[in-house]
Structure 1
Amino acid sequence: MATDLSLDEARATSHRRADFQGLRAVAVLAVVAYHFGVPGISGGFVGVDIFFVISGFFITRLLLRDIEQDGRVRFLRFWSHRAKRLLPNGLLVVISVLAVSAFLLPSYRLPTIAGDAFSAAAFFANFHFAQQTVDYFHLDAPPSPLLHYWSLAVEEQFYLVLPVLVALSAVLSGRNARATVLTLLLLVALASFIGATIVMERSQPEAFFLPQYRAWQLAIGGLVGGLFDQRTLLPSFVRRICSLLGSLSVLASIFLLNDALPYPGWLALAPSLGTAALILGLDAGGYASAPRRVLAMPAMVSIGDMSYSIYLWHWPVWVTLASLWPTASGAMALVAGLVATALLASIAYFFVERPAHRMSATTLGHPQMCAAAAAGVLIVVTASYGAKLLPGRSDPAIRAMIAKASADHGPNYHNGCHVHYEDIAQPDCRFGDLGGPRVVLFGDSHAAQWFAAIVKAGTEAGWEVNAWTKTGCPTPEVTIWYPAKRSVYEQCNVWRRQRLEQLVNDPPALVILTNSTRYYGWIYDQAGRHPATRSRAELLWQEGFRQTTRVLTDAGISVIELRDTPKMYPRFKDCLSQDAWSACHRPREEALAGMTSPTMKSPLFAQIDLTDALCGPHLCWVAIGEKILYRDTDHLTATSAASLSDKFLELLATDAAGNER
């Protein structure tokens, strides 16, 4: 993570205090542990927040020192130091990811990774990934090996804006610019935080990735940096309390927060203010000296020195291992990931990062250094674009089959019948025999996947088929906490209520209900006002299903519940691209695990299970022969679903009570 200055600059601003290096170690270890799935580190993602505060602290101190010593900001010197600090290792990782992707990763992923590399090298990865995250069809895609560059982009954008802000303050206030800078930083922090809490209500990815909603954390660090030399004016006991409370706040964030909570937002205050308090109080001594002693341990200092290199390399290592070794156990993958990260980060630190640190302006002047940095960025950007044009490494026929399966959503996704996240109105979609008895397909995208099969069966059996499906919106009466938005999915509540009223007012002969049954991290607990625990989600789901079926059966409607589909390996496409397909099927027990418990038996409706059409006694198949069955981990392709239309033809021959039609 790009959180510190070069070593010579760090000495000038803080005498390269060992405890500050240890704080960087805490941040990077938290991030790595979280990404690698270390048990207990549920909130390790806050390491990025810690880095943001540290960055704001050091950069603000550096710029204020320039103003007070020289009366102006030396832009070329500042940006050349940033380039020297960040670009050699940062661009090396981007180039390495492109090379590994071209030769080792499944080739169908190369164009996407090349686009990610372009955004990483050009410093707008945060905007790039914010746009991707709100796309429903990316939720099951393998993560980008350059996803972590979003935070580097935020900092790089901060490095472009803050010097201008400080320079304007110097013009307005001369050498007494410190007070003006601190006032502006306070205003930035307040405006940014208020904006972040507001935008969290409609779009978590924007609040998470975009610089205007992360600036408050960097500004908090800047405020601490501007006031740091006056910290001794605080009573010793106040600084000791800052040290202890800051430590507790940071540790509580790392161990108690989790990615199901609404983050960032108010919860991000804990690691951010905790880090700020810790910086102010670390050298207070006395009974609060324990945090400083721990952070100043030689091992922590060494990790802190290498924190940028570790941050850069750990995520590509993890993503690459997961792609090349998709069936590895958690322990084996963790050990392999840690060893590979330590090795690559050490090599990059000692042979790339440190030599670049030590390069002085006499070796290459500031203008020349900026020009060299621009040239390096241009080369990597060009390479990223060129990588899109590389020929595929795996069998072109297999690549084409994977691409075709991935895009095989079915006609209901293109004719407007499937309702997407923001929409509520349900188009009047009628198919089959419009004069026959009416069946309604009702549910979320797991119902939508059966559209082609049910329409085909309905047409043959003389039924009129209505398709009522909505993204991420199950039919049980539960409130959904939508993870991609980090907000309550109110559009789902409205859509479901309107459809139930429509069914009661104009009852069909039959309703087929089917949904994803893996909503346990998505069900909102109205009592606790947060995503429900697994056991609580089970109870809410069961009660919600009872409410929905009671409404339908009380209206005299026959109901069939269709069991959810098995779930494939998250990276099954990688497996298909490079392995024998027999290695890509998933054990039946694993494929059916993690589902919300099947709903209760009832004489009021029938339950249909098509699992045996998709699984054998021991394996659930990702492909049969040369036909790929799934478009993503838990959605069938429209083609494979349509091949099971005979199962629905049998269903439509009788109603839910077993009466012949």
Structure 2
Amino acid sequence: MLALPRPVPASSYRPDIDGLRAVAVLAVIAYHIGVPGLAGGFVGVDIFFVISGYLISGLLQQELLQHGKVRFAAFFARRIRRLGPALLLVTLCTLLAGYVLLLPDAANSLGREARAVVTLSANHHFLSHAFDYFNAATDLKPLLHTWSLAVEEQYYLVWPLLMMAAWRWGQGSLRVVRGTLAAVLLGSFLLCLYLSWHNLPQAFYLMPTRAWEFAAGGLLALAPATRWRSEGALALLLGLAGAALTFGCILLFDERRMVFPGWIASLPVLGALLLIVAGELSPRNVVSRLLASPLLTALGLLSYSWYLWHQPLLALGRSYGVGERELTRDLLLGGGLSLLLAWLTYCLLEQPIRQRRPAPFALDKSTLWAGLAMSLAVWLAGTVDMYLPARHPWPGQQRILQLKADGPQTPPGCGMARDGTPLASAASCRIGSAMAPLRLLAWGDSHSDHSLPMYQALAQSQGIAMLRRVYHGCPPLPDAVPVGEGKVRSWCLNHSRAVWQEVEQLAGKGLNGVLMNVRWNGYTALPVPGSLAITGLAAVDAQGRPQLSGPLLAGSGMLDRPHSLQVLHASLDKLAGELGRLRLKLVLLAPEPEFRLSVPECIVRRGAAACNISRQQVEAQRRDIMAILRQVAATHRNVRLWDAIDRFCDAGSCFASDGELVRYQDQNHLSASMARTLAGDFAASFVWASQR
């Protein structure tokens, strides 16, 4: 492996930069694997951006000096030869493996990810569908890492045009080009700072907020050539400073306690710049010599393929492992197997295409057509993966799919508007007896939906109708708003306030009570099984503005656990009082147990006994919420608390199944069969709430 062929002539080769690539890829892969002590490994992507900006801007400068223009066909043909074949191979293999290993919904998502990859929009796709890069759900997204490739290619669709325009406007002056790049750096950095405090996912994923990192490397490449002198002492000093910054960030950064990217992203960027400068000043300094060691340069040459292979292997392995991280398995897949595949890809695919130029890649024009053909092939394969598994699932998944299909039947036409409003028509959201009077409101999040089979059975037996007002991921609180994944969920507040206005209108028209089953822990800054992210709860003023100071970082500051619980208590207590003023009753359903693993997959792949959890763990997890619910129920005469915990647990354990009855669809949503069995226990509370 140490004798890998180099992609450029020896005279212009910088082994220390390949060594820096190795540091970056090792940091990222270790972070994704979950190697202890390397919590800041995600900054490897920032280092890659700096290196890319330095190298590509240097190549574009050479073109301007030699030809007076940027040869766009040649530029993009080089990018296709460099990136396309390996990306095609990895993506097609991932789609094929996804069909075998993933459930249809996950395979559908993977197909959409693949289509976003080849349209250079993966960062926008994951911004819309993954939100926070740092949440646990991203562990299961095989193509998540391609967001950085999309950012890079989007930048290089724009930067050559800007560079040539500046060159011509300045009549061949590199000073104007440098000024343009400096303006890009400043504008992008300011936008990054702003969005890091106002919409963190956008700051992380979008090209305009990351362009300053490429621009920093580009400015270094375009700096006047006379700046460099062979000063060993200065090179060593800069190299040591760069190494301290780079490795300090990898070792000490922790996304749970910082706003990233923000200003703090400038530290790994500066570290990478200093290491590149040190190697330029004097390649003989000890830091640059270490980076240029045979092992690191070999890993640097493999870095692109290694980066491509590691995330699909990790995500697919974790998906099959019921969504769980397991260090030994992840090291073997994301470290060992992905490195072997990277070496094979580099030697058998990447280098032969770049060096020997087979027919489709022989000329720039034919390479562009080959790139289009590769993109079309992946797009079509992604489309197949979106639909084939749902119609013809892999045979070994039938039992899991059967269990997961045991869910509530929601009223057709009773959907959730993107902005929370307008509410679906009341007629399309009724359950129970078709022509019966409306007596109850089921108001909450997805946990209200998993109680629908129980509500439906009781409503029909009592001869009444209910109104479903549910928005997944949103608590039914008109005076509080969840904040998570770096942004305010304003749609939740819009929905809750619209429902409250409807409640005030219905109070005098026969509505007697409200039933609330809500996953309160999901909004009070507590990491719980199956959560997409940590989400805090903020109070709002009369205009709906969140009462916050500081960044939108759930789990810290005013969005930490104590503050979120305080906001929950105050808002729920106020809502209970307002319902009492309207002479409406409120039944609060206590939180059901939540499981560490998705129950259907766990039962099929590990056996039911491996899926159970201790009652002590469940009680500890819901202790704070139960204290609030009990206080609200004790304070207001119109409120009752119903707790079914003894139907799930004995004194020692809480059970994922009861013989043939599997109780959950995933980690925390009840199966419809289980919900229906609770109807007898809940009947007294249901009748109490439905009557005056």
2:451 is the alignment partner of 1:450: yes
Residues 225 and 552 of structure 1: CA distance in aligned 2, closer, same or farther (over 3 Å): same
| Map 1:320-331 → 2, pairs under 5 A | 320-326=316-322, 330-331=326-327
- Whether contact under 8 Å (2:408, 2:452) holds in the other structure is no
Q: Paired residue for 1:302, among 298, 304, 311?
A: 298
Q: 2:74 aligns with which of 49, 74, 77?
A: 77
Deviations 1:50-91 (A, max 9, x none): 211211111000010111123232333323322222122221
Is 1:86 aligned to residue 83 of structure 2?
yes
- Residue 410 of structure 2 corresponds to 411
Conservation of the 8 A alpha-carbon contact between 1:7 and 1:16: no
Distance 1:436 1:399, change over 3 A: closer
Give the superposition deviation at 1:313.
0.8
User: Hey, what's the Cα distance between the residues in 2 that align with 1:412 and 1:246?
Assistant: 60
Assess if the C-alpha contact under 8 Å between 1:106 and 1:574 holds in 2: no
- Aligned partner (choices 589, 603, 607) of residue 562 of structure 1: 589
Matches within 5 A, 1:282-431: 291-292=287-288, 294-326=290-322, 330-337=326-333, 338-359=335-356, 364-387=362-385, 388-389=387-388, 391-394=392-395, 398=399, 401=402, 404-405=405-406, 408=407, 410-411=409-410, 414-416=413-415, 422-423=420-421
3-state SS of 1:73 partner: coil
Residues 1:460 and 1:298: Cα distance change in structure 2 (over 3 Å): same
1:146 lines up with 2:181 in the alignment:
no
* Aligned residue among 643, 649, 656 for 2:683: 649
Comparing 222-231 and 261-270, the one that deviates more: 261-270
Post-superposition offset of 1:35: 1.3
2:555 to 532, 535, 550: 532
Q: Secondary structure at the match of 2:332?
A: helix
- 2:23 matches 1:26: yes
Call closer, same or farther: CA 1:10–1:26 in 2, change over 3 Å.
Answer: farther
Q: Do the aligned residues in 2 keep the contact of 1:117 with 1:381 (CA within 8 Å)?
A: yes
Equivalence for 2:545 = none
CA distance in 2, matches of 1:395, 1:533: 43
Q: Check 1:633–1:504 CA distance in 2 against 1; reply closer, same or farther (3 A cut).
A: same
1:187 matched residue in structure 2: 183
Q: How far does residue 188 in structure 1 lie from its aligned partner after superposition?
A: 2.9
- Aligned counterparts of 1:366 and 1:223: Cα–Cα separation in 2: 28
Equivalent pair of 1:140/1:632 in contact (CA under 8 Å): no
Report the Cα distance in structure 2 between the residues aligned to 1:612 and 1:275, rounded to whole angstroms: 57
Q: Secondary structure at the match of 1:480?
A: strand
Q: Does 1:620 align with 2:659?
A: no
Letter aligned with residue 90 of structure 2: V
The 1-side partners of 2:562 and 2:381 are apart by 53
Judged with a 3 Å threshold, the aligned counterparts in structure 2 of structure 1 residues 109 and 60 are, in CA distance, closer, same or farther, namely same
Q: Confirm whether residue 164 of structure 1 aligns to residue 164 of structure 2.
A: no
- 3-state DSSP class of the match of 1:635? coil
Structure-1 separation of matches of 2:203 and 2:119? 21
What CA distance in whole angstroms lies between the structure 1 residues aligned with 2:249 and 2:424? Answer: 42
Change (3 A) 1:259 1:543: closer
Q: Report if aligned partners of 1:7, 1:357 keep a CA contact under 8 Å in 2.
A: no
Q: Give the partner amino acid of 1:641.
A: A
Alignment partner, residue 480 of structure 1: 482
1:502 and 1:160, CA in 2 relative to 1: closer, same or farther beyond 3 A?
Answer: closer
Residue correspondences, number: 640
CA distance in 2, matches of 1:462, 1:257: 55
CA RMSD of aligned residues (A): 4.6
Measured at CA, do residues 31 and 147 of structure 1 come closer, stay the same or move farther in structure 2, by a change above 3 Å?
same
Does the Cα contact within 8 Å between 1:445 and 1:515 map onto a contact in 2? yes
Instruction: Report how far residue 237 of structure 1 moved.
Output: 9.4
Q: Normalized against structure 1, the TM-score is what?
A: 0.79
CA distance in 2, matches of 1:84, 1:596: 57
Find 2:613's aligned residue among 573, 587, 603.
587
SS in 2 for 1:597: helix
Query: Does the residue aligned with 1:179 lie in a helix, a strand or coil?
Result: helix
Deviation at residue 318 of structure 1 after TM alignment: 0.3
Measured after TM superposition, the shift of residue 171 of structure 1 is: 3.7
Structure 2 counterpart of 1:152, one-letter code: L
What CA distance in whole angstroms lies between the structure 1 residues aligned with 2:615 and 2:472?
27
Amino acid at match of 2:76: W
Question: How do 1:185-334 and structure 2 match up within 5 A?
Answer: 185-197=181-193, 204-227=200-223, 229-232=225-228, 246-254=242-250, 255-258=252-255, 261-281=258-278, 291-292=287-288, 294-326=290-322, 330-334=326-330
Same amino acid, percent of matched pairs:
26
TM-score, structure 2 normalization: 0.76
CA shift for structure 1 position 221: 2.1
Given that 2:413 and 2:424 are in contact with CA atoms closer than 8 Å, whether structure 1 keeps it comes out as no
Quote the residue 1:3 is aligned against: none
2:39 maps to amino acid: S
Distance 1:571 1:150, change over 3 A: farther
| Cα contact 1:449–1:635 (8 A) shared by 2 | yes
- How far 1:198 moved relative to its partner? 5.3
Task: Measure the CA separation in 2 of the matches of 1:569 and 1:419.
Answer: 31
State the 1:637 CA deviation.
Answer: 4.9
Where does structure 1 lack aligned partners over 5 or more consecutive residues? 1-5
What is the alpha-carbon distance in structure 1 between the residues aligned to residue 125 and residue 549 of structure 2?
Answer: 37
Q: Which residue of 1 aligns with 2:530?
A: none
The answer to whether the 8 Å contact 1:412/1:448 transfers is no
Alpha-carbon distance between aligned partners in 2 of 1:446 and 1:522, rounded to the nearest angstrom: 16
Q: Which amino acid aligns with 2:143?
A: L
Q: Decide which moves more: 210-219 or 472-481.
A: 472-481
Equivalent of residue 570 in structure 2, options 530, 535, 547: 547
The 3 A distance-change label for structure 1 pair 399 and 479 is: closer
What is the rounded CA distance, in whole Å, between the counterparts of 1:215 and 1:349 in structure 2?
28
Range with greater deviation from structure 2 (184-193 or 45-54): 184-193
Q: Partner amino acid for 1:124?
A: S
Separation in structure 1 between the aligned mates of residue 573 and residue 109 of structure 2, nearest angstrom: 46
CA contact (8 A) 1:121 1:381 kept: yes
Query: In the alignment, does 2:95 pair up with 1:98?
Result: yes
Query: Does the Cα contact within 8 Å between 1:25 and 1:304 map onto a contact in 2?
Result: yes
C-alpha displacement of 1:641:
3.2
Q: Is the 8 A contact 1:591 1:620 kept in 2?
A: no
Could you give the per-residue CA deviations for residues 333-372 of structure 1, whole angstroms, max 9, x where no partner exists?
Answer: 2332322223222222333333344336999344444444
Decide which of 114, 118, 122 is 2:115's aligned counterpart: 118
Q: Deviation string for 1:170-191 (max 9, x for gaps)?
A: 44445x3422322222333344
Displacement after TM superposition at 1:197 (Å): 5.0
Per-residue Cα deviation, 1:417-463 (whole angstroms, up to 9, x for no partner): x6766449798777769999965545433334324533543554477
Which range moves more in the overlay, 144-153 or 515-524? 515-524
3-state SS in 2 of match to 1:211: coil
Does residue 121 of structure 2 align to residue 129 of structure 1? no
**Change over 3 Å in CA distance of 1:309–1:481 after alignment to 2:** same
1:178 aligns with 2:174: yes
